[in-house]
Structure 1
Amino acid sequence: MDRAAIVHQNFLRRLAANDLPEGLAPDPTIAPDKLMEMFRSQVLSRQLDRTSRVMQASGKGFYTIGSSGHEGMAAVAEALRPTDMAFLHYRDAAFQIQRAAQVPGQTPVWDMLLSFRAAAADPISGGRHKVLGSKALNIPPQTSTIASHLPKAVGAAYSIGLARRTPPEHGHLPADGIVMCSFGDASSNHSTAQGAINTACWTSFQSVPMPLLFVCEDNGIGISVPTPRGWVAANYANRPGLRYFTCDGLDMAQTLRISQAAADYVRRTRKPAFLHIATVRLYGHAGSDVEMTYRDKSAIEASEANDPLLHSARILRDANISTPHQSLEIYNEIEKTCIRVAQEVMEQKTLTDAAGVMASIIPPARACAPSNGPTPEARAQVFGNDIKQMGEPQSLNRLLGWALTDLMLEHGEIIVAGEDVGRKGGVYGITQKLQNRFGPDRVVDTLLDEQSILGLAIGMAHNGFVPIPEIQFLAYLHNAEDQLRGEAATLSFFSDGQYTNPMVLRIAGLGYQKGFGGHFHNDNSLAVLRDIPGIVIACPSNGADAAMMLREAVRLAREEQRVVVFVEPIALYPMRDLHEDGDGAWLTRYPAPDRRIGLDEIGMEGTGSDLAIISYANGFFLSTKARKHLEENGINTRVIDMRWLAPLPADALLEATKDCKNILIVDECRRTGSQSEALMALFTEAGRTRVARITAEDSFIATGPSYAATLPSADSILAAATALVMS
């Protein structure tokens, strides 16, 4: 049977009969008008759930995971300020509705029904998804069902204290604000949630400000799998650095009182708290879910008998605020409003073409204060003796460290964060001296958790910082790739460009480390990054390019609010020589701080038209070595450095090769899923027929002397190029 209809009929019947569940006596400290306001928010949340099902049945609505049973979240919203950033669980419509009551000029019925419709006029997503969220209400939209928004909530909370010490240009969270994030009992078991909560505790344990309220909405079941009774409390009641609160979410008065106590604790102590709210789940998991297939009828009926709206009506009755008959009138009145508005909303236009859907993948640019770069005096003071060495050729790792220094001098909102980036200077010394130069607030040593490192960056970016997080090795990204794919890259898309999280993620990666570390430290696959819409992937091959590309990456993040992944070839960090020992041909001089390499700007060595070799990073280095021998053999060659792997610099590559008879693509990544596939398609579709590729094998990289056996080499490039030209 339709459980939504049964819950509805039960509510009508029991209010008419004054048959309401028992509960605590009324709380005289809560104003009657506030209780009534929360009840109306709860009822509206319920009626929106019911309306969404009507819209879906008529083919005019597209999302029916509702909030029924979780209406107690209205009280949590009332306990917070509308300036407290809230990352919401998908069952928190009552929270958003109650917060809307705190901010003048809001129209939650209209706004939320537009979202159910996936209407182009939806004020939060622009018709791209049914999401809770509002710019005016300080609620960034979430599409997560597994608590993957918790790491960025940790980052946002951390940013509040950081902003007091280092104010960012675009910061907006108040100094006495807190951050709230909510999630389900089942999601609390996910590694992402566990990592985020552990990070908050780890931070709090060291007395670093972490004003964060975790709210666990415990309805006792995760889709079809019950949560063991008492598990959430046993798991979180005694965590070091985390204060535990619990309340009955069916009782809006108790929930308000306990939520106020939890919020006051977080706001006063700047330490995290865990608010455990007991709820029920009504209607099943979603509109298509048939609970009777996996849950006893008696358990379903017990949840329905504990309908939060029945408890709220009882509280209003016992406090002499509203009789059951009057509460029923409110319920019916709000139902009529939802039906009336839905009739209009169902005629609203949806997005109809790819351009409309994709319009918000790339964030809008923002106005930034002009910068003339670091002053000579500031540079002299910070760089010290390094200034004297800048006129001499240097290795890639040295120039990257200098570029970071100049950028941090120029932009005070840049925060470098990652494991070992501080006193140690990172695994390869790139961030050496930065913490001494700028202090631990701007060069943050994190705990060992890639999800938390990226979440920290995403959350800080919510408050105006330009984070430069570091992942030590490319293979380690896979522990946290959803923070890029499911959170950072999607935020602009699902918020219609209203929310962004710009950053420059530095990752040491790729192969050719002469046997060190095996596949854990030599990962030659970028496939996980290449198909994420909207992100920029940079991959330099030499020091001067790396410095200028990093400056462009920071500009893209700071001014255009882009998510940039900056992949640094580990094997080329210390590279000095090109053709023979001691030639120093791969060293470059540090470019002046105002020089950048723009997005889509490629590099080129040579002008030969017999052959164009297209590569990047280690492949460009090896191809440059091979070019010398090709030229000696009479094959006039140019070697092109892509530099930017996403978006693919297609026009620049086609232009740079238009007069070349043959094109060889050299890709150090695996044959399957590598850049070479897109490049082969690009040139084939452009009518180029003399195109070949050489790639790494579809293999992991071995440790020891065989480290390069599966990778392209200067000799294999020379052989492939000769064969192509002579064929």
Structure 2
Amino acid sequence: MDRADIVHDNFLRRVAAGDLPTGRAPQGPLSPDQARIAYRAACLSRALDRQARVMQRAGQGFYTIGSSGHEGMAAVALGLRAGDMALLHYRDAAFQIARALTVPGQDPVWDMLLSFAASSDDPISGGRHKVLGSRALMIPPQTSTIASHLPKAVGAAYSLGLMRKHRPEHAIMDPESVVMCSFGDASLNHSTAQGALNAAGWAAWQGAPLPLLFVCEDNGIGISTKSPPGWVEAVLRARPGLAYHAADGLDLYDTYAVTKAVADTIRRTKKPAILHLRTVRLYGHAGADVPTTYLPRAEVESDEANDPLLHAVRLLDQAGVMTPDQALSLYQSANDEVVRRAEEAILRPRLHTAAQVMASITPPSRLRAPRNGPSPEARVEAFGNDVKAMADPQPMSRLINWALTDLMLDRPETVLMGEDVGRKGGVYGVTQKLQARFGSQRVIDTLLDEQSILGLAIGMGQNGFVPIPEIQFLAYLHNAEDQIRGEAATLPFFSNGQFTNPMVLRIAGLGYQKGFGGHFHNDNSLSVLRDIPGLIVACPSRGDEAVLMLRECARLAAEEQRVVVFVEPIALYPARDLHAPGDGLWMQTYPAPGQRLTFGEVGVDGDSTELAIVTYGNGVMLSHQARKILMAEGVSCRIIDLRWISPLPEAALLAAVQGARRILVVDECRRSGNLSEAVMTLLAGHPSLIRVTAEDSFIATGPAYAATLPSASQIAKAALQLFSPDNR
């Protein structure tokens, strides 16, 4: 017999017989009306859990991870304000229902049934996934709650403090809000949870405003692995900077009282806190999970005897809110309502085509108030003596610095963050002077944790800021890539464009650093970024184009709400010369404010019909050096700079190679799994086409740093092969 049916039958039998569990009497400020809301939310949540299993068995539902045992989250919802952002654990249906019951015009039962049925009418995901979430209830959907949403909760809370001085045009939260983030006791052990808790405590320790409530829902088990007794409390209590509080999630009155007191304190002090909530897990992890296969039956039955709905009936009776008979009637009516409305929900339309599924990968555009840009006086004040240097050619690093300065001058919601970006000005000096120009609140020196850096940006982006986070080296992104893949890029997709987290992620990367750092600092693989739907990846090759592209990336984030990765070739930061020391041919002057390169626009240098070299990043400089070798052999070429790595600008590339009798693709990344494979596929019909790539190898430290990477001579040699008799 399904444990869900056993728990249901037990409830009916025990309430009818007056066989209720013992516990302390109801205490605290929960009003009778609030108690009724909490109990109704709990009953509806329980009924939905049971109906999800019925729908799944009939092939009409597609999700069976339930919230049974965690109904105390209804009281947590009532202890917060309806406008407080809530990033929810997947067992928090009672939270969303309780909040919905306090907001006019909401129909949580219908919304959740549509979600179970994967109907395109589902108001949060449009049928793409069963997620808790609601724009009207300020609940962004979480696609994975194995702690991956905790870093962005820190970012969202941090944004509330910053918006007091720099309110974004498109802010969605009130500065007096609190951010609530809930997660399970098993997720506490995930490195992402540990990093987020550490980041919150680290910021609070230094006095940064951070109105954030972590709620750890402790049912003592993660699927089949139990949490050691006392472990969760010991870990949570040990967190410096985070006040620890505990409540009994089986007791609606206690849970509400503690939540309300803690939330009020957070709202007043702007300091983060943890609520450790005792819960039980009923039914097992999900529909197919049978807990008695890995737990003693007596233990399973003990949790079932502690059913929070049974405790709620006792508490409401003792408080004089409703009798057990009335509570039983409400429970049965909730079940009847859910069953009846499920029959309608399964008839609602579903997604069928790829276009329908993909419609929300790209978020909607938004209008921004027109601005004339910073005044000449403001620019002079910010740039100081740098204004005079703008007429002279400069290396890429300095031009990017000036571009960031202009972007921050133009829009107060533009915020930089990353390790060493402030006081030090970055490892390579790219962000020098920016903290002095704009202050430590807008140029944020973060702790050394890439997950926290990206989480800070995601959370701030959700609240209308335009974050420009920096990952110090491309290899370091791998510590935190799920924050981009599983969180940032999926939020518009799973919220049907209702929630977004735009940003421009700057990453110093690629190879050719002479003898420095090996593969930890010279990482020549972009494949992890190129396969993320909706993500834009850009890579400049010259300083002036870096400025123009960075401006376009900032526009894409601010106006089109896109997540953009701007890969800056480290080896080109200081590059001055092209062919000979002192020639200065790889420096450019700073483009005038307002100029930018259009997304998808490729660069074409030359009009030769003999040969087209298609490349990007460091490959552009190498191809120019190879061109000199080729010219000595009587061969002319055009050089095509892709600039936009993902999505590949296919139409622009096809137009750029038009008329070229030979094509050479130069890819500084590894041969397998990188950009040149896509380019070769696109151009596969061309009769004379080859590629030069890096080897499938990590990069060595020392004199062999470039041994596995393409060189100018290799490019020239490959190009000349295209002119051999076999290729004519």
Q: TM bucket by the smaller chain? A: over 0.9
Superposed, 1:11-410 pairs within 5 Å as 11-27=11-27, 29-410=29-410
In 2, Cα distance between the equivalents of 1:371 and 1:647?
30
Equivalent of 1:710 in 702, 708, 711: 708
In 2, Cα distance between the equivalents of 1:30 and 1:451?
38
Determine if the alignment matches structure 1 residue 532 to structure 2 residue 532.
yes
Superposed, 1:649-660 pairs within 5 Å as 649-660=649-660
Assess if the C-alpha contact under 8 Å between 1:365 and 1:559 holds in 2.
yes
1:692 — aligned with what?
690
Determine if the alignment matches structure 1 residue 724 to structure 2 residue 722.
yes
**1:552–1:29 distance in 2 versus 1, CA, 3 Å:** closer
Task: For 2:315, give the aligned amino acid.
Answer: I
Assess if the C-alpha contact under 8 Å between 2:28 and 2:253 holds in 1.
no
- Structure 1 residues 617-642: Cα deviation after superposition (integer angstroms, max 9, x where no partner): 10111011101221221222101000
In 2, Cα distance between the equivalents of 1:256 and 1:210?
22
2:631 — aligned with what?
631
How far 1:28 moved relative to its partner?
Answer: 6.4
In 1, Cα distance between the equivalents of 2:86 and 2:385?
47
- Structure 1 residues 258-296: Cα deviation after superposition (integer angstroms, max 9, x where no partner): 111211221111111100001000010001112122111
How far 1:239 moved relative to its partner?
Answer: 1.9
In 1, Cα distance between the equivalents of 2:102 and 2:29?
20
Determine if the alignment matches structure 1 residue 439 to structure 2 residue 439.
yes
How far 1:320 moved relative to its partner?
Answer: 2.3
- Structure 1 residues 42-88: Cα deviation after superposition (integer angstroms, max 9, x where no partner): 00000011111111111111000010000000000000001110000
Determine if the alignment matches structure 1 residue 612 to structure 2 residue 622.
no
**1:23–1:595 distance in 2 versus 1, CA, 3 Å:** same
How far 1:704 moved relative to its partner?
Answer: 0.3
Task: For 1:215, give the aligned amino acid.
Answer: V
- Structure 1 residues 627-674: Cα deviation after superposition (integer angstroms, max 9, x where no partner): 122122122210100000011011011011120011110000000111
1:597 — aligned with what?
597
**1:324–1:419 distance in 2 versus 1, CA, 3 Å:** same
TM-score by length of 1: 0.99
In 2, Cα distance between the equivalents of 1:410 and 1:543?
21
Task: For 2:218, give the aligned amino acid.
Answer: D
- Structure 1 residues 488-534: Cα deviation after superposition (integer angstroms, max 9, x where no partner): 00000000000000000000000001111111000000111000000
SS of residue paired to 2:566: strand
1:640 — aligned with what?
640
How far 1:142 moved relative to its partner?
Answer: 0.3
Task: For 1:287, give the aligned amino acid.
Answer: G
- Structure 1 residues 284-320: Cα deviation after superposition (integer angstroms, max 9, x where no partner): 0001112122111111101100111000011111122
- Structure 1 residues 202-240: Cα deviation after superposition (integer angstroms, max 9, x where no partner): 010011111100000000000100000111111111321
1:4 — aligned with what?
4
- Structure 1 residues 97-122: Cα deviation after superposition (integer angstroms, max 9, x where no partner): 00001211100011111000110010
In 2, Cα distance between the equivalents of 1:173 and 1:53?
36
SS of residue paired to 2:368: coil
In 2, Cα distance between the equivalents of 1:81 and 1:287?
33
Task: For 1:346, give the aligned amino acid.
Answer: I
In 1, Cα distance between the equivalents of 2:233 and 2:665?
57
- Structure 1 residues 312-346: Cα deviation after superposition (integer angstroms, max 9, x where no partner): 01111112222222111111111111011100000
How far 1:548 moved relative to its partner?
Answer: 0.3
> Unaligned 5+ residue runs, structure 2?
none
Q: Which is further off, 422-431 or 258-267?
A: 258-267
How far 1:29 moved relative to its partner?
Answer: 3.8
**1:138–1:28 distance in 2 versus 1, CA, 3 Å:** closer
In 1, Cα distance between the equivalents of 2:31 and 2:352?
48
In 2, Cα distance between the equivalents of 1:28 and 1:572?
64
1:583 — aligned with what?
583
Q: CA RMSD in A?
A: 0.8
In 2, Cα distance between the equivalents of 1:714 and 1:325?
85
Assess if the C-alpha contact under 8 Å between 1:47 and 1:335 holds in 2.
yes
In 2, Cα distance between the equivalents of 1:238 and 1:704?
44
How far 1:371 moved relative to its partner?
Answer: 2.1
Superposed, 1:476-515 pairs within 5 Å as 476-515=476-515
SS of residue paired to 1:164: coil
SS of residue paired to 2:703: coil
Assess if the C-alpha contact under 8 Å between 2:75 and 2:95 holds in 1.
yes
Structure 1 stretches of at least 4 aligned residues deviating more than 3 Å after TM superposition = none
In 2, Cα distance between the equivalents of 1:429 and 1:444?
15
TM-score by length of 2: 0.99
SS of residue paired to 2:692: strand
Number of equivalent positions:
725
How far 1:718 moved relative to its partner?
Answer: 0.5
Q: Percent identity?
A: 65
Task: For 1:257, give the aligned amino acid.
Answer: A
Assess if the C-alpha contact under 8 Å between 1:611 and 1:725 holds in 2.
no
In 2, Cα distance between the equivalents of 1:440 and 1:28?
42
> Unaligned 5+ residue runs, structure 1?
none
Task: For 1:488, give the aligned amino acid.
Answer: A
2:464 — aligned with what?
464
Assess if the C-alpha contact under 8 Å between 1:46 and 1:67 holds in 2.
yes
In 2, Cα distance between the equivalents of 1:577 and 1:324?
84
Assess if the C-alpha contact under 8 Å between 2:28 and 2:254 holds in 1.
no
- Structure 1 residues 591-636: Cα deviation after superposition (integer angstroms, max 9, x where no partner): 1111101111011111111110000010111011101221221222
In 2, Cα distance between the equivalents of 1:301 and 1:205?
44
SS of residue paired to 2:564: strand
In 1, Cα distance between the equivalents of 2:418 and 2:384?
25
- Structure 1 residues 171-205: Cα deviation after superposition (integer angstroms, max 9, x where no partner): 13112111000000000110000000000000100
SS of residue paired to 1:246: strand
In 2, Cα distance between the equivalents of 1:102 and 1:697?
60
How far 1:145 moved relative to its partner?
Answer: 3.0
SS of residue paired to 2:719: helix
Q: Which is further off, 490-499 or 166-175?
A: 166-175
In 1, Cα distance between the equivalents of 2:171 and 2:285?
38
Task: For 2:287, give the aligned amino acid.
Answer: G
In 1, Cα distance between the equivalents of 2:99 and 2:673?
46
Assess if the C-alpha contact under 8 Å between 1:394 and 1:588 holds in 2.
yes
Assess if the C-alpha contact under 8 Å between 1:610 and 1:725 holds in 2.
no
In 1, Cα distance between the equivalents of 2:374 and 2:270?
34
